[in-house]
Structure formats: C-alpha cells, structure tokens
C-alpha cells in the first residue's frame, strides 16, 4: 500500500469526487482512478460504489478510510517530531476538551504551556465525548480531556481517570424553584438539557430512571453548553451540568445551583489517548501539564 494511494483515498472522501480530489492533488482524473483501481486489486476488495452520481464508499472502503486518516495524521506527527528533534522551532499539538475542562482547568495550563513552549502551535477542539472519540481514532487529535469512563470507550482508546467532579441542578439567580426539596414538583418545570450521547444531561436522565422518577415534563434540547447557560440565565429554564461550570464566576454569572437532594454522584474527568501511538514532544509537554494540574484538584 503506497502513500499516494492512501492520500488519494482520503482526498476523494474529503472532496466528494475523484475529479475534485485529482484537481486538489494536482494530477489527472485518469491517473487517480488508476491509482485507486490498483489499490482495490492489491487489497482484493472494492472500495467504491460507482454510479452516475459519482462514487461512494463500500464498507471495506469506509474501514480503510478510517485507518488511512490515522496513517496520514501519524506521518504528519512524525514529521513534526523529527523537526523538533533536529532543532526546529515550534511544534504542534491538537487536543479535544469538554466545556468544563475548557472553562475551569485549561486557562492555567495554557499559561504554563506558553511559558515552556512559546512558539508551539496549539489547536483546541471543544466537544463532548462523542465528538472527541472519532477525531482520536482518526488521528486528528493528539489526546482528549473529557468526562468519561473506560466502559464508554472503544478498545483502541485508553482512559486515565484524573479527578472526580460533581454535577448538579441549576437555574437563574432567585429562581422560584431554587430551594425546592421535592423532585416531582421540580420535574414538572421546564428544563433545558443537552441530550447528546455521553453528556451530563443523559447521565442525569439515566439516574432519574434508576430512582423511579419521571423525566422532566418539558425539555428544550440544546447541544451547546453555552447557549444552554444563556437560556438558564435569562429564563426560568432549569439545567443540569458540572457544578464547576455553574460556580465559575464568569461562566456561571447569574446562575445558581439548586438545593434539591439527592442528586447523582460524581463523574470522572480523565485523559483519553489512542493506544500504541506515542505523543510528539510538544503534545507530551501539554499532557504532563494536564496531569499535574488535575492531580492537585
């Protein structure tokens, strides 16, 4: 399997057609078609379904595409690492962070990182676990820091638990239900929840079921944590999420946590990495800073 074949496969996926991929690679369409056909013959499997609409990937093609993205990203990381070893300036690191990590832990880590490596290139992706996992598997992130557990992750990924954090119910300051101690009454109110897989809100709904309590009667679904916070700040919608997010003086301004009990137990923030893939020196520095910071919380 040749580098040009792997690159061509990824370019076809990213550009939507062989013609556009060939143009982007600076080669003829016929040359790229021939390269892909040679790859199919070498593997003994069809990678594309061809029709008048263009090409789509078969199951074999989708499987190879995932691995091909990882190969290209790994080669790019290796090139970056060699430049650093050879005395080149800078370095690159790409990390995925959940909102609570971004808001509460990361600013201090960022300041330390820029002091150690002022010329490094840093790329941040905010998202929940479901968004971080695919990017880790395909090599688009060096590592992630998220709320997770080993049981939630595919076998290709490792999880190092670092710190337990509390999640809780919250709403605007002076909310009329802030001091309620009755779950059935509270669940009759209007709520705003992020129902994405792996979110704190989904864990909350699971806990309600375990407690034989009903789901909130009316839920506004919101995939953005910060839009959710704004709705909680400016309306009587009730939300659920990490207490550190609500208690932060900037992020949680005009939001208060509720007195209701019991509430779900703590969740764990940890570091997620692709097994068997070493970090570049730059990424290793940032991961070490995360470990130190989270170990002292």
pLDDT at 173 over 80: yes
CATH of 89-163+268-295, one of 3.40.50.150, 3.40.190.10, 3.30.2290.10, 3.90.550.10: 3.40.190.10
**Beta strand residue intervals within the chain, DSSP E:** 48-51, 54-57, 92-97, 121-126, 143-147, 157-165, 167-172, 190-193, 218-221, 239-242, 255-257, 267-274
Cis peptide before 262 (omega within 30 of 0): yes
**Spatial contact of 101 and 127, defined as CB atoms under 8 Å apart:** no
**Beta strand residue intervals within 18-65, DSSP E:** 48-51, 54-57
Residues 66-100 pLDDT 10s: 888 888 888 877 777 676 665 555 688 999 999 88
Q: Can you spell out the DSSP letters for 195-235?
A: -STT-HHHHHHHHHHHTT-PPPSEEEE-S-HHHHHHHHHHS
Average pLDDT for the chain:
90
Report the alpha-carbon distance of residue 182 to residue 201 in Å, rounded.
19
Bridge partners for 240 per DSSP:
169
The top-scoring range by mean pLDDT among 118-122, 197-201, 238-242, 272-276 is 238-242
**Domain ranges in the chain with CATH number 3.40.190.10:** 89-163+268-295, 167-265
**CA quadruple 85, 90, 95, 101: dihedral sign:** positive
Residues 238-293 pLDDT 10s: 999 999 999 999 999 999 999 999 999 999 999 999 998 888 888 999 999 999 99
**How much is the pLDDT for 70?**
83
Q: Which two tokens stand for residue 170?
A: 């919250």
pLDDT at 5 over 80: yes
**How much is the pLDDT for 74?**
80
pLDDT at 196 over 80: yes
Q: What is the DSSP letter of 189?
A: S
**Domain ranges in the chain with CATH number 1.10.10.10:** 3-78
Report the alpha-carbon distance of residue 76 to residue 93 in Å, rounded.
11
- Residue 274's alpha-carbon distances to 140, 176, 196, 236, 294, in angstroms, are 11, 46, 23, 42, 20
pLDDT at 157 over 90: yes
User: Whole-prediction pTM value?
Assistant: 0.73
**How much is the pLDDT for 80?**
73
Residue 9 neighbours by CB under 8 Å, 6+ apart: 36, 39, 47, 61, 64, 65, 68
**How much is the pLDDT for 152?**
81
* Phi, psi dihedrals of residue 83, rounded to the nearest 5°: -60, -40
- C-alpha angle with apex 76: 131 to 47, nearest 5 degrees? 65
Q: Which residue has the tokens 């509430």?
A: 263
What CATH number does the domain located at 3-78 have?
1.10.10.10
pLDDT range class, residue 36, cuts 50, 70, 90: confident
**Spatial contact of 236 and 174, defined as CB atoms under 8 Å apart:** no
**How much is the pLDDT for 89?**
59
Q: For residue 288, how many other CB atoms are within 10 A of its CB? A: 15
Percent above pLDDT 70 for the chain: 97
**How much is the pLDDT for 67?**
86
How far is the first Cα of the chain from the last one, in angstroms, to the nearest whole number? 47
CATH 3.40.190.10 for domain 167-265: yes
**How much is the pLDDT for 123?**
94
* Phi, psi dihedrals of residue 217, rounded to the nearest 5°: -65, -35
Pairing of strands 190-193, 218-221: parallel
Percent above pLDDT 90 for the chain: 51
């Amino acid at each position: 399997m040749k580098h040009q074949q792997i690159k061509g496969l990824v370019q076809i996926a990213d550009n939507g057609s062989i013609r556009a991929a060939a143009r982007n690679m600076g080669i003829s369409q016929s040359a790229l078609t021939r390269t892909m056909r040679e790859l199919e013959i070498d593997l003994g499997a069809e990678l594309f379904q061809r029709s008048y609409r263009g090409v789509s990937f078969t199951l074999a093609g989708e499987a190879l595409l995932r691995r091909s993205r990882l190969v290209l990203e790994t080669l790019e990381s290796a090139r970056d690492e060699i430049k650093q070893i050879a005395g080149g300036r800078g370095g690159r690191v790409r990390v995925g962070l959940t909102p609570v990590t971004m808001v509460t832990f990361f600013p201090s880590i960022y300041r330390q990182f820029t002091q150690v490596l002022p010329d490094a290139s840093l790329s941040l992706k905010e998202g929940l676990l479901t968004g971080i996992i695919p990017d880790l598997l395909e090599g688009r992130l060096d590592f992630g820091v998220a709320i997770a557990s080993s049981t939630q992750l595919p076998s290709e990924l490792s999880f190092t638990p670092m710190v337990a954090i509390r999640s809780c119910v919250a709403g605007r300051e002076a909310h009329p239900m802030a001091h309620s101690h009755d779950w059935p009454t509270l669940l009759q109110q209007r709520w705003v929840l992020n129902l994405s897989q792996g979110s704190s809100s989904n864990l909350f709904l699971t806990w309600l079921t375990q407690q034989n309590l009903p789901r909130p009667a009316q839920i506004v679904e919101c995939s953005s944590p910060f839009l959710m916070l704004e709705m909680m700040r400016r309306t009587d919608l009730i939300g659920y999420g990490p207490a550190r997010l609500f208690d932060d003086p900037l992020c949680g301004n005009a939001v208060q946590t509720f007195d209701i009990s019991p509430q779900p137990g703590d969740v764990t923030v940890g570091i997620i990495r692709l097994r068997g893939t070493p970090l570049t020196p730059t990424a290793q520095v940032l991961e070490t800073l995360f470990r130190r910071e989270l170990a002292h919380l």
